């Protein structure tokens, strides 16, 4: 299949299937398997030819395909609280059997985690490592009170990278491949730039890119940031969007009367309902923090730049920085309003939202609405509430446009 001519939907399916095939046959080929989270510096694993699995992606996939309840129930039967993140509950329930009709992961040889994404993930992965009796490596990234890490922060993280390298050498039984590591750094930088360029097509009005599709396209930016095939895919996506622009086409088949920012993780079990409701109200998602969060770019192909980039991820940034980023996204994508997912699972995002909503509204005075839900637990979402909130948002955006006398 020629990636230069294949449509991106087909190509994404092909690359996703290849990723899971490589992952699930890793042990047969003598490769090690590491489980980690989506913002761990995967460049180290790629340099050592280690296959990487992401339990968060497993949970999201099971959620999207309506297959999470057995694992949620199993986790709670083990004594874990239903107040925990549903990704965590699914993951802890899944490892009791490693059995799903939808998707399976190979058993890990090591589990690694980084604190730049989620505090609960630290304990989730620690419990998983203890249950499976495998080594557990934690990279601690300090909370950012300002706009980026200090040099002391970078020194601290680099020292942890050195220990990570030592542990990977012990795991694989061979020296760390610094030559390949430098190559992977260059590839990862290319992926970040290609992904950012592709996501920027939502800035056009009308947008050729359906922003809701970014929830699917971001998969490779999460699981395969160090592979040239990922950069090639995002380059192909940009080419496809250029074709759409020339032909005055769009992936979004509805009316683009209202451009909105979606704040928060997707409701994976209810994506279809969410999309249809937004489309029925002439809304297209063009802005969002979640997809672009995976654009991990750094200035140079060296370990200090790598440490600085992973330490500067938005989830561990100050409220001021988080507000600035989202306000800029709304401005760049010319959003008419914002829809906030009050996610029962993701405490770090939900607890920020009161300040985010207030801060962003004070800057742009754009209407917003909230809805209650969860990233993968289907029992906490109300379709009726979602529809009502979306309708109210549409009415407020229409009123705001009428007041200023614009489209």
13-26, pLDDT tens digit by residue?
999 999 999 999 99
CA distance 377 to 361: 30
What pLDDT shows up at residue 404?
84
| CA-to-CA separations, 401 to 256, 277, 307, 363, 371, in angstroms, rounded | 14, 21, 44, 17, 23
135: Cα within 13 Å, side-chain hemisphere: 14
H or E segment at 140? none
Residue 76 has pLDDT above 60, yes or no: yes
Q: How far is CA 299 from the centre of its chain?
A: 22
331: tokens are 């401005």
Q: CB 162: neighbour CB atoms within 10 A?
A: 11
pLDDT digits (tens, 9 = 90+) for 321-358: 999 999 999 999 999 999 999 999 998 888 899 999 99
Q: So what's the pLDDT on residue 66?
A: 96
For residue 5, pLDDT over 60 is answered with no
> Contact at 8 Å (CB) between 76 and 67?
no
pTM confidence score: 0.94
The CA distance from 42 to 188, in Å, is: 9
Task: Give the chain's end-to-end CA distance (angstroms, integer).
Answer: 43
The proportion of the chain whose per-residue pLDDT surpasses 70, expressed as a percent, equals 98
The candidate with the shortest Cα–Cα distance to 87, out of 373, 290, 377, is 377
CA atoms of 288 and 211, how far apart (whole Å): 8
Report which secondary-structure segment, H or E, holds 16.
helix 8-24
pLDDT at site 152? 95
Query: What's the pLDDT at 407?
Result: 64
Least reliable range by pLDDT among 260-274, 284-298, 320-334 = 284-298
Token pair for 207: 């947008």
Per-residue pLDDT for 3 more than 60? no
Helices vs. strands in the chain: H and E counts, helices first: 16, 8
- Residue 1 is predicted with a pLDDT of 46
What does the pLDDT read at residue 231?
97
Q: What was the pLDDT predicted at 4?
A: 54
Residue with tokens 């971001």: 218
Task: Tell which residue, 90, 127, 106, has the closest CA to residue 269.
Answer: 90
The predicted pLDDT at position 286 comes to: 98
What backbone torsions phi and psi does residue 273 show, to the nearest 5 degrees? -65, -45
- Is pLDDT larger for residue 283 or for residue 3? 283
Residues contacting residue 188 through CB under 8 Å, at least 6 positions apart: 42, 43, 225, 226, 296
Ramachandran region, residue 28 (left: φ > 0; alpha: ψ -120 to 50; beta: rest): alpha
Q: What does the pLDDT average to over 178-206? A: 96
- The stretch 220-231 carries a mean pLDDT of 96
Buried/exposed code over 277-286 (b: 16+ C-beta within 10 A; e: otherwise) = bbbebebbbb
Report the domain count for the chain: 1
The string of pLDDT tens digits covering residues 303-315 is 999 999 999 988 8
State both tokens at 345.
């699972």
Query: What pLDDT is attached to residue 136?
Result: 98
Q: Average pLDDT for residues 224-237, to the nearest whole number?
A: 96
3-state secondary structure of 351: helix
Q: What is the tens place of the pLDDT at every residue in 85-137?
A: 999 999 999 999 999 999 999 999 999 999 999 889 999 999 999 999 999 99
Kindly report, residue by residue over 391-405, the tens digit of the pLDDT: 999 999 999 999 887
> Where in the sequence is the domain holding 329, given as residue range(s)?
1-407
């Amino acid at each position: 299949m020629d990636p230069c001519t294949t449509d991106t939907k087909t190509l994404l399916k092909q690359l996703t299937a290849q990723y899971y095939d490589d992952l699930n046959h890793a042990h047969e080929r003598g490769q090690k398997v590491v489980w980690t989270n989506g913002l761990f510096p995967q460049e180290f694993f790629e340099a050592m030819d280690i296959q990487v699995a992401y339990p968060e992606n497993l949970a999201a996939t099971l959620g999207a395909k309506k297959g999470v309840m057995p694992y949620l129930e199993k986790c709670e039967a083990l004594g874990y609280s239903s107040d925990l993140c549903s990704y965590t509950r699914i993951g802890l329930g899944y490892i009791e059997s490693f059995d799903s009709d939808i998707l399976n992961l190979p058993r890990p040889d090591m589990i690694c985690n980084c604190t730049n994404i989620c505090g609960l993930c630290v304990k989730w992965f620690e419990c998983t490592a203890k249950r499976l009796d495998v080594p557990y490596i934690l990279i601690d990234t300090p909370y950012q009170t300002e706009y980026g890490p200090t040099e002391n922060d970078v020194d601290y993280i680099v020292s942890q990278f050195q220990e990570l390298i030592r542990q990977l050498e012990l795991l694989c039984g061979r020296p760390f491949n610094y030559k390949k590591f430098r190559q992977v750094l260059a590839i990862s930088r290319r992926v970040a730039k290609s992904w950012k360029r592709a996501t920027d097509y939502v800035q056009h009005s009308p947008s050729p890119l359906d922003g809701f599709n970014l929830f699917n396209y971001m998969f490779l930016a999460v699981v395969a940031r160090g592979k040239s095939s990922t950069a090639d895919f995002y380059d192909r996506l940009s080419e496809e969007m250029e074709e759409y622009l020339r032909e005055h086409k769009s992936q979004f088949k509805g009316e683009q009367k209202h451009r909105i920012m979606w704040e928060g993780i997707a409701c994976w079990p209810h994506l279809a309902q969410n999309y249809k409701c937004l489309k029925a109200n002439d809304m297209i998602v063009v802005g969002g923090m979640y997809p672009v969060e995976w654009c991990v770019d750094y200035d140079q192909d060296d370990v200090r730049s790598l440490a600085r980039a992973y330490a500067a991820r938005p989830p561990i940034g100050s409220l001021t920085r988080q507000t600035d980023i989202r306000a800029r996204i709304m401005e760049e994508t010319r959003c008419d309003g914002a829809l906030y997912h009050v996610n029962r699972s993701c405490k770090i995002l939900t607890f920020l939202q009161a300040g985010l909503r207030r801060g962003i509204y004070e800057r742009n005075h754009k209407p917003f609405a909230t809805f209650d839900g969860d990233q993968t637990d289907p029992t906490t979402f109300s379709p009726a509430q979602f529809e009502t909130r979306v309708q109210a948002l549409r009415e407020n955006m229409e009123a705001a446009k009428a007041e200023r006398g614009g489209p």
